Amino acid sequence: MTTISLTINGRPQGPVAIRDDLTMNDFLREVLGMTGTKFGCGAAQCLSCAVIIDEADGTSATMPTCIAPAVSFDGKAIRTVEGHARDGRLTPLQARFIEHFAFQCGYCTPGFLNEGQVLLERLEKAPIARADLERVVAEALDGHLCRCSGYVKYHEAVRAVILADPARYLA
């Protein structure tokens, strides 16, 4: 057993003693009851289980949780799908996912949402040329698998958020 503490969606969690072989996915879903993070392939291949890791230097990246031990998240700050909406208000990205009918079963949606949010925050710091938009969005979402084939609509939804606020995201 190892005792860990971390920050999830801005709130401290722990210290809590967990088995060393407990995955982060099981920690979120089974220990904390945060079932928004899904479990798909269980082999770090589909990214439906990805959460956002916020680094101390202000950068963020997604990371799959299905095979990562929860103890490796000790001291980290992460965000999950439950942390996006505030006071019942959806983020622009969540709203566009709905408007574009980007998902069907929704199983892959938390991973796409987290990845899209990381991209938006990155573009706020480093805007891109309009001509690069399709490529940059496609590269950012690459690796996220959707069994309902929602790829095109996910890409459209992310691009729509960016195009709706060009002063923020485009150079």
- Minimum distance of ligand FES from residue 155's CB (angstroms): 13
Question: Is 72 an interacting residue with respect to ligand FES (CB under 6 A)?
Answer: no
Question: Is 66 an interacting residue with respect to ligand FES (CB under 6 A)?
Answer: yes
Question: Is 148 an interacting residue with respect to ligand FES (CB under 6 A)?
Answer: yes
Question: Is 143 an interacting residue with respect to ligand FES (CB under 6 A)?
Answer: no
Task: Compute, in degrees rounded to 10, the torsion defined by CA atoms 45, 48, 49, 51.
Answer: 110
- Of 111, 147, 114, nearest to 38 by C-alpha is 111
Instruction: List Cβ neighbours of 127 (8 Å cut-off, separation of 6 or more).
Output: 168, 169, 170, 171
Kindly tell me which of 53 and 128 has the beta carbon lying closer to ligand FES. Answer: 53
One of 22, 32, 44, 128 touching ligand FES (CB under 6 A): 44
Question: Is 41 an interacting residue with respect to ligand FES (CB under 6 A)?
Answer: yes
Task: Compute, in degrees rounded to 10, the torsion defined by CA atoms 141, 124, 101, 65.
Answer: 50
Q: What is the DSSP string of 35-46?
A: TTS---SSSSSS
One of 61, 85, 90, 105 touching ligand FES (CB under 6 A): 105
User: Which residues in the 106-135 window bind ligand FES by CB under 6 A?
Assistant: 106-108
User: Could you tell me which residues are beta bridge partners of residue 79?
Assistant: 52
Which tokens in the block code for residue 150?
């929602």
Q: Which segment (2-10, 92-100, 113-121, 140-148) binds ligand FES by CB under 6 A?
A: 140-148
- Kindly list the residues in this chain that would bind ligand FES in the complex (CB under 6 A): 39-42, 44-49, 64, 66, 103-108, 146-148, 150
